[in-house]
A = this chain, B = another copy of it.
Amino acid sequence: MAAEKISSRAQDYSQWYLDIVNRAGLAENSDVRGCMVIKPHGYAIWERIQGALDKMFKDTGHVNAYFPIFIPKSFLAKEEQMAEGFAKECAVITHYRLKAIPGKGVEVDPEAKLDEELIVRPTSETIIWNTYKNWIQSYRDLPLLINQWANVVRWEMRTRLFLRTAEFLWQEGHTAHSTQSEAEEETHKMLEVYREFAEEWMAMPVLTGTKSEGQKFPGAVYTLCIEAMMQDRKALQAGTSHFLGQNFAKAFNVQFQSREGKLEYAWATSWGVSTRLIGGLIMTHSDDQGLVVPPRLAPIHVVICPIGKTPDEQKATGDVADKLAADLLALPRDAFYGYDTLTVKVDRDFDKSPGFRFNEWELKGVPVRVEIGPKDLASSACVLARRDQPGKEGKQMGVPLAEAATRIDSLLREIQKKLFEKAKAFRDTNMHRIDSYEEFKKKIESPGGFFLAHWDGTRETEDKIAEETKATIRCIPFNLPKEEGRCMVTGNPSKQRVVFAKSY
């Protein structure tokens, strides 16, 4: 049973991505159009993402709650931008009953038609602000800092596992504040939570910035975002944080009595990240051997492979593997591992060849593999193989078993750091300042990347560039050097360079 190799990134990037999703057991398309099945290994990564983010949300004062999956059609209409932005991709419930026809299956019962259609939430601002109306009377009820973990549905026409699916899992924060400045501060604070999570947990460097008018969230005053570069040099919008002003408070009449006794509309933010992050994780770190997962998000940190041909050898190396696993579990809980114990797997699949077993664990992206054969045992040692450097260069031979647990702990931290540095170097190498639109049109095709260019700030120019090159403004960045100049298309004045790229 020789494993089929996955496609190489260089030859067929799209197929490489799908091969990894498939072969690492992350997800698959279901028989329901556009909806994916998240398989156990993929879901385990999502659980690690949830665990880390949930703690960060709670540490910044947020609590979780749960709101209905259905939204009356009329709610959507109350906020005009939202209606326009989401109407075209809504799943609509029109009936609440089927009837079973014996021998003929089931049919929709025409008698059970809803008076008002319901939509499956594409996002929950409307249903939540309709609820907040009853929760907010006084400035004492504010701020309201609530997050929801949920599934949402957007009827996308072209779907791609994790990156764009009809149903996806996400979290959506929805906060209400008594002042504009407090709401704006929250919008920035949560973007910073996303940046920290992306960089310190996912080891995925991101640019932070503001979306242009053309790219902002329907219903927002402005949208902040984190943008990452994938290995094909395209951009992935990995998280957004929206300042909603008083738009939803006005649409749902959410007023409160201020400290001064005046009736005022509440100020809102919303912010979210989704299972799309798993797509970003794959495309930031993985290689032609398969998935690479940064240690802090790895469902399995360490796999230990005892090796042996005879039952005696298998018992001897297996026992040592168990002992090492126990040593690893006894390492102190630490923030690096989310204050949890390490997850260690002992692979006793002696029926398969060592090479086959190593390949399978490389495919699944386990950060550190330990190999223990009879020869290693003779010298009370083992071999450590790091996933981020497949092949011989990533192997440490003859590691004394007595030191192995602490060496592995250091190695995991080292891998986390190196993955970030490597991804950042790649991103920085492929980010270019550019001043000529002609040159831009060529370079955006090949080699591609992030292009820092001057733009005159108009929707018209933004649309023209998108039409002609398929590149969009990914963000107006916060932390790149500010510099005035002239728009690469119109020559009109520009206050700073913005980031153009093709994107997912």
The answer to whether the Cβ of A77 comes within 8 Å of any Cβ in the partner chain is yes
A38-B66 in contact (CB<8A): yes
B65-A40 in contact (CB<8A): yes
B117-A108 in contact (CB<8A): yes
Measured in the bound complex, the distance between the Cα atoms of B438 and A196 in whole Å is 70
A93-B96 in contact (CB<8A): no
Q: Specify which chain B residues have a CB less than 8 angstroms from the CB of A38 in the assembled complex.
A: 65-66
**A18-52 interface (Cβ within 8 A of B):** 28, 30-32, 35-40, 43-44, 46-47
A87 and B69 contact, Cβ closer than 8 Å, known pairs A30-B131, A92-B94:
no
B71-A32 in contact (CB<8A): yes
The answer to whether the Cβ of A70 comes within 8 Å of any Cβ in the partner chain is yes
Q: Specify which chain B residues have a CB less than 8 angstroms from the CB of A36 in the assembled complex.
A: 68
From B83, B91, B119, B169, A118 is in contact (CB under 8 Å) with B91
The answer to whether the Cβ of A179 comes within 8 Å of any Cβ in the partner chain is no
B155-A73 in contact (CB<8A): no
Measured in the bound complex, the distance between the Cα atoms of B41 and A65 in whole Å is 8
Measured in the bound complex, the distance between the Cα atoms of B146 and A37 in whole Å is 12
A32-B127 in contact (CB<8A): yes
**The stretch of A97-105, A420-428, A440-448 that contacts the partner chain:** A97-105
Measured in the bound complex, the distance between the Cα atoms of B1 and A10 in whole Å is 69
A105-B167 in contact (CB<8A): no
Q: Specify which chain B residues have a CB less than 8 angstroms from the CB of A73 in the assembled complex.
A: 98, 105-106, 108
**A107-141 interface (Cβ within 8 A of B):** 108, 117-120, 127, 130-131, 134
Measured in the bound complex, the distance between the Cα atoms of B73 and A92 in whole Å is 15
By beta carbon, the residue of chain B nearest A85 is B100
A40-B69 in contact (CB<8A): no
Q: Specify which chain B residues have a CB less than 8 angstroms from the CB of A28 in the assembled complex.
A: 131, 134
Measured in the bound complex, the distance between the Cα atoms of B167 and A83 in whole Å is 24
Number of A residues whose C-beta is below 8 Å from B? 62
A97 and B155 contact, Cβ closer than 8 Å, known pairs A37-B131, A38-B66, A67-B37:
yes
A91 and B96 contact, Cβ closer than 8 Å, known pairs A30-B127, A69-B153:
yes
The answer to whether the Cβ of A90 comes within 8 Å of any Cβ in the partner chain is yes
A77 and B106 contact, Cβ closer than 8 Å, known pairs A40-B64, A68-B37:
yes
A98 and B106 contact, Cβ closer than 8 Å, known pairs A64-B40, A127-B30:
no
The answer to whether the Cβ of A158 comes within 8 Å of any Cβ in the partner chain is no
Measured in the bound complex, the distance between the Cα atoms of B108 and A70 in whole Å is 15
Measured in the bound complex, the distance between the Cα atoms of B313 and A141 in whole Å is 27
- List 16 A-B residue pairs with CB atoms under 8 Å apart, sorted by A's residue number: A32-B118, A37-B65, A38-B66, A43-B63, A44-B64, A66-B169, A70-B167, A74-B105, A83-B105, A84-B100, A87-B106, A89-B96, A91-B96, A93-B93, A93-B94, A94-B95
Q: Which A residues are closer than 8 A to B by beta carbons?
A: 28, 30-32, 35-40, 43-44, 46-47, 63-74, 76-77, 83-84, 87-100, 105-106, 108, 117-120, 127, 130-131, 134, 146, 150-151, 153, 155, 167, 169
7 closest Cβ contacts across the A-B interface?
A: A77-B105, A35-B68, A38-B66, A87-B98, A40-B63, A92-B95, A96-B155
